[in-house]
Amino acid sequence: MNTSAPRLQLLHITKRYPSVVANADISLSVQPGEIHAILGENGAGKSTLMKIIYGAVKADEGEMLWDGRQVAITNPAQARRLGIGMVFQHFSLFETLNVVENIALVLDEPFDLAALARRVTEVSERYGLPLDPFRPVHSLSVGERQRVEIVRCLLQNPRLLILDEPTSVLTPQAVLKLFETLRQLAAEGVSILYISHKLHEIQALCDSATIMRGGRVTGQAIPKDETPASLARMMIGRELPQCVAPVYTGEQRPVLEIRSLSRPTDDPFGTALHDISLTVHAGEIVGIAGISGNGQAELLAALSGEAPGARNAVCIDGAPVGHLNAGQRRRQGLVFVPEERLGRGAVPALPLTHNALLTGHPQGMKRWGLVRYARARAFAEECIRRFDVRCGGPEAVARSLSGGNLQKFIVGREIMLQPRVMIVAQPTWGVDVGAAAFLRQTLLDLSRTGVAILVISEELEELFEISDRIAVLAAGRLSPAEAKAATNAESVGLRMSGLFTPPTEASAPASASSSSTESSHASA
């Protein structure tokens, strides 16, 4: 690591909002070629601080030094001219434009779109993040949109690269490739500010770390000298809870059955589904792993009822529901948590009371066609209390919550509907370690009441922690679901590349009595 003058130095940065002090007297420095982690819970002030560096937010107090010279960065364009690039956790892409058009928007110099498309292809393939430059953004999965954000930054040849949860939806192989890229960039003198809740990544990648809690710097660390447990203690101020799977003693009857589900895709960039069969039993969690764009969106649409199909392709407790729409399936006991919290799971500009109505209205929140707001507010208050949602109350708007707290509200809202089947996509994407542990334990506890839960996630560590069986979706085909104890991350990673024989029949349920934590540690 270079020991010359800091590339970036922050001195006493403070940012206040009407209801909260997001950053209070923050000071830190980053050397050329240093990979510096910023650790903290959701709401600790990390993203606000990064936006101040990038010029998207103006600090109320403090100063910033760039290569030893004081600078006042007033907008992202000025930051980019200095050599600062940022990959946001929540994507800043225009849905109606294609990949290369989105990338062109941030370039300050003249460009030729065809030549830029060739550069996008070259850079994305070189860094192991393949992209089709002419594909519309609205057709991309969350993981593919993450690739666009990263490649867009790399094309700008940054001197300081800010990454906010860059691996949230990347596969283990893609993460390793990204780490190779980041280490190469650091060796070339690029400074990197890295925000992640994945503590093993911080240990493997970062040279140093600044810990934030409640908008303040509470400590410094050398990640390689710490353990995940000690880093977690510094982040959340207490021991990190371990997920434990209670014993399920009820009847392991089939609840959700997918029977030879095949369907084409209307999206020219989508993935058709081929003969997918799977059974999820009462009292178990089945996890589906896979690389973005391999049919996850199509499978979720087919299961949630957003894209009804053949009557017998999906059954709940033996009753065919494949032809029913989303509302009708909900009345049969199926609930769904989409991967996109803001926009699908919740309406950003509406308060939590109104967001409770989105799926909770059958719970006595309407009468004679009119909304009973007192009931909706009481439901939201109960959800906030039961699921430890830290917010300003039921009238807090959804977009004001941190990612972890909004996810707890959405998951809690669905659980309070007393489902028979729960389908969850990316349950802890971009969520801090404390909230992630809470959500995973919540799903485990719910399953052991007899609910059948299907989790689609690109985080293998998560799947090994909570799943009883794990299957892999690749190129629209589903692998056999194997008991967690009978597989490992390497085997799942190979199947994610399509190296498996499609099943001839659904696998039997695994025993739901062993500790999820023990198996995840053994196989991760």
Q: What is the predicted pLDDT for the residue at 524?
A: 31
d(CA 423, CA 304) in angstroms, rounded, equals 8
254-333+419-523 homologous superfamily: P-loop containing nucleotide triphosphate hydrolases (3.40.50.300)
- Is residue 346 within 8 Å of residue 398, measured between CB atoms? yes
Check residue 169 and give its pLDDT: 63
456 burial level (CB within 10 Å; 0-12, 13-18, 19+): buried
pLDDT digits (tens, 9 = 90+) for 348-375: 999 999 999 999 888 888 888 888 999 9
| Residue-averaged pLDDT of the chain | 87
Q: Which architecture, in CATH terms, is 8-236?
A: 3-Layer(aba) Sandwich (3.40)
Residue holding tokens 């969690």?
A: 285
Q: What is the pLDDT along the chain (524 residues), one digit of tens a residue?
A: 445 789 999 999 999 987 778 899 999 999 999 999 999 887 788 888 999 999 999 999 999 999 999 999 999 989 999 999 998 766 778 889 999 999 998 877 777 899 999 999 998 888 777 899 999 998 887 678 888 988 888 888 899 999 988 876 666 667 787 888 889 889 989 999 999 888 888 999 999 999 998 899 999 999 999 988 888 888 877 776 778 888 888 898 999 999 999 999 887 778 999 999 999 999 999 999 988 788 999 999 999 999 999 999 999 999 999 999 999 999 999 999 998 888 889 999 999 999 999 998 888 888 888 889 999 999 999 999 999 898 889 999 998 887 788 999 999 999 999 999 999 999 987 777 788 888 999 999 999 999 999 999 988 888 999 999 999 999 999 999 999 999 988 888 788 877 676 665 444 555 554 434 333 333 33
pTM for this structure? 0.72
pLDDT tens figures, 397-443: 998 887 788 999 999 999 999 999 999 999 987 777 788 888 999 99
The closest of 392, 454, 428 to 258, measured between CA atoms, is 454
Q: For the chain, where do the domains classified as CATH 3.40.50.300 start and end?
A: 8-236, 254-333+419-523
pLDDT tens digit string along 306-329? 999 999 999 999 999 999 999 999
Q: Are strands 469-474 and 421-425 parallel, antiparallel or unpaired?
A: unpaired
Going by C-alpha positions, the residue among 235, 337, 295 that lies closest to residue 473 is: 295
Q: Where are the beta strands (DSSP E) in 272-352?
A: 273-281, 285-289, 314-316, 319-320, 334-337
Enumerate the β-bridge partners of residue 30: 8
> Strand, coil or helix: what is 442?
helix
DSSP state of 226: S
Q: How far apart are CA 166 and CA 149, in angstroms?
A: 9
Record the tokens describing residue 368, joined without a space: 């004679």
Q: Give the pLDDT confidence of 256-297 residue by residue, as tens digits.
A: 999 999 999 887 778 999 999 999 999 999 999 988 788 999
Helix axes 373-386, 403-415, angle to 10 degrees: 110
